Amino acid sequence: MKIRNTEVKISIITISVVIFFTILLSITYILTRDPIIIYMGVPTIILLAVLPLGLNYLSQKQYADLRPQYEREARPVRIKMINLNMVGEPVRIEGIVEKVHFQILNRPQFVVADRSGEISVKMFTHPEEKIKVGDVVEVLGLVIKRYIAGGDAVIDGVSIRKIDKSIEARKKETGKPAKKS
């Protein structure tokens, strides 16, 4: 669903909760025939669906607004170079997606690897395009600690997008973009 040119997705869990409470509301109304159940229940169910959509829209909009700033400021680094001394720095990495977690929650976490190592990339909203294991991606994000009190360095992803490495390699070799076939 699009809201003002921003792609918004609702998670399967949210849909399940709305369906569960709709069924529960229907059963309760059938058993009691009390109209207060409908007057109070229907707006509540609508809020259960609309609030997650609104929050997702706000997250998507904020990340879209941040993307140009990160594209300017993020410096390209190898994954092996990322450490706790870099916390708070915007970075750009390229690598292959090895694992994907929590996409069902619209809060995906990707394990991205290059030849030097691997790192976890946490997203607090779904990416613009569907990312799966084996995709070659470019990640823009901020280095953070995995946990507040400690842990290793991870990336708070602002943007993750698929890239065509053969096109990138051709640009570097000839200085011209590769022709799309």
Domain extent listing, the chain: 2-72, 74-170
pLDDT (average), residues 138-155: 85
User: Which CATH code fits 74-170?
Assistant: 2.40.50.140
Structure confidence at residue 106 (pLDDT): 78
Q: How far lies 89's CA from each of 98, 155, 172, in Å?
A: 24, 10, 26
Give the Cα separation of 181 and 126 in Å (integer). 30
Q: At CB < 8 A and 24+ separation, what contacts does 66-71 make?
A: 66/158, 67/140, 67/158, 67/159, 70/140, 70/141, 70/158, 70/159, 71/140
Contact between residue 151 and residue 145 where contact means Cβ atoms under 8 Å apart: yes
* Average per-residue pLDDT for the chain: 84
First to last CA, the chain: 31
Cα angle at 81 between 76 and 86, to 5 degrees?
85
Contact between residue 132 and residue 120 where contact means Cβ atoms under 8 Å apart: no
Give the Cα separation of 158 and 35 in Å (integer). 46
pLDDT digits (tens, 9 = 90+) for 76-133: 999 998 988 888 899 999 999 999 988 777 788 999 998 888 999 998 888 888 888 8
pLDDT (average), residues 8-21: 88
Q: Tokens standing for 157? A: 């992803």
Query: Which of the two residues, 30 and 128, has the higher pLDDT score?
Result: 30
Structure confidence at residue 104 (pLDDT): 77
Alpha-helical runs (H) found in 2-117: 12-32, 35-73
pLDDT (average), residues 37-48: 93
pLDDT (average), residues 56-81: 88
Give the Cα separation of 51 and 61 in Å (integer). 15
Structure confidence at residue 93 (pLDDT): 93
Model pTM? 0.72
pLDDT confidence bin for 179, thresholds 50/70/90: very low
Q: Tokens standing for 121? A: 């990339």
- Using a pLDDT cut of 70, give the percent of the chain over it: 89
